[in-house]
Structure 1
């Protein structure tokens, strides 16, 4: 494994990313296969292809306002488009010539890319890092109208998995985990988003 890489559930057409929401946002999104108010179209929304990272973040869907776990299938052409527009959230010296160059790019960025420690089944931090992608308000309508192929309600499955986790049945729990594979990208995009 590389230090930073994208591992995800994907097929020929789509990649699955995860988000956690409250009932008022999640239920209409599941029903209509699109987001609507009170979902905010005026701020950045973050999507994550790592299931276990989101489980740690939402405490397996038990944190306030994060009770519903959505698997959002995004068309791969748009996923790669959004990555190609990305600017890292820190001035990585292998990616940018200087802090000044990064600052200028970051100020105008429509997409933010952040790398965080990947998580184990028990929530521990791994050395490898996983990606979070912040889609700005300038692209959020396009994300909602064009990029999304399907919104899957994963909440019942997550609840079942959490019960197994609490019972210490980690072997059984593993059977239900999404199978995430290395996502292939053009070298130009890899370099731009700090894959190494």
Structure 2
């Protein structure tokens, strides 16, 4: 008897490090922001709350975006553990950052939803251990207005500087040591928000 074929992986999938009460997202900043944030376990005054902030549940996508924590202004990577209920509320009220015909009937409806929503969802190709694009996509969540204030003041549980981890993984990548790189990567599993996948998910 032949074994059943594995189910295809969804094209849009949230994968994250999470517990029953928290989810970890990543952000990259200059030392001026990241140092005080990790030390004081809160974002400093220099962190602008009036601007949109983007969080990424995927460690490897953050490595791609920050160039392994080497790009200017992104030299320090933070693992920010946040309250899962708050994160799920942001997802439930989020709007896609680009028009998707299967979600909004036309661009005017999408623009109206975008104006109302304090959170935006963007899907970008996930990355492998060498930061090459994969066929499935990874979540970025943009927070603005009330969502950004809640993120900083209510949802935040802990802030950990993981720059040394980023550099250690990169060193193994440069050596071609796939097993060594994977051994260091934070464990990320499929994340299903409370109530299931939001309506904006094309998956």
Match of 1:89 in 2: 97
3-state SS, counterpart of residue 126 of structure 1: strand
Secondary structure in 2 aligned to 1:141?
Answer: helix
Q: Distance in 2 between matches of 1:191 and 1:180?
A: 20
Do structure 1's residue 114 and structure 2's residue 122 form an aligned pair? yes
SS in 1 for 2:68: coil
Distance in 2 (alpha carbons) for counterparts of 1:191 and 1:34: 29
CA distance in 1, matches of 2:112, 2:149: 25
Aligned to 1:24: 32
Instruction: Give 1:12's aligned residue.
Output: 20
Structure 1 unmatched ranges of 5 or more: none
CA positional deviation for 1:171: 1.6
What is the TM-score normalised by the length of structure 1? Answer: 0.94
Partner of 2:152: 144
Matches within 5 A, 1:100-179: 100-179=108-187
How far apart are 1:138 and its partner, in Å?
Answer: 3.0
Any stretches of 5+ residues in structure 2 without a counterpart? 1-8
Paired with 2:36 and 2:200, the residues of 1 have a C-alpha distance of 33
Alignment match, 1:50: 58
SS at 2:44's partner residue? coil
Q: Is the 8 A contact 2:54 2:140 kept in 1?
A: yes
For the residue of structure 1 that corresponds to 2:197, the secondary structure is: helix
**Displacement after TM superposition at 1:11 (Å):** 0.7
CA distance in structure 1 between the aligned counterparts of 2:87 and 2:121, rounded to whole angstroms: 12
State the TM-score, normalized to the length of structure 2.
0.91
Rounded to whole Å, the distance in 1 between the matches of 2:76 and 2:95 is 29
1:190 aligns with 2:200: no
Other-structure match for 2:79? 71
Structure with max Cα Rg: 2
Q: Would you identify which runs of 4 or more consecutive aligned residues in structure 1 move more than 4 Å? A: none
When the two structures are aligned, how many residues end up with a matched partner? 195
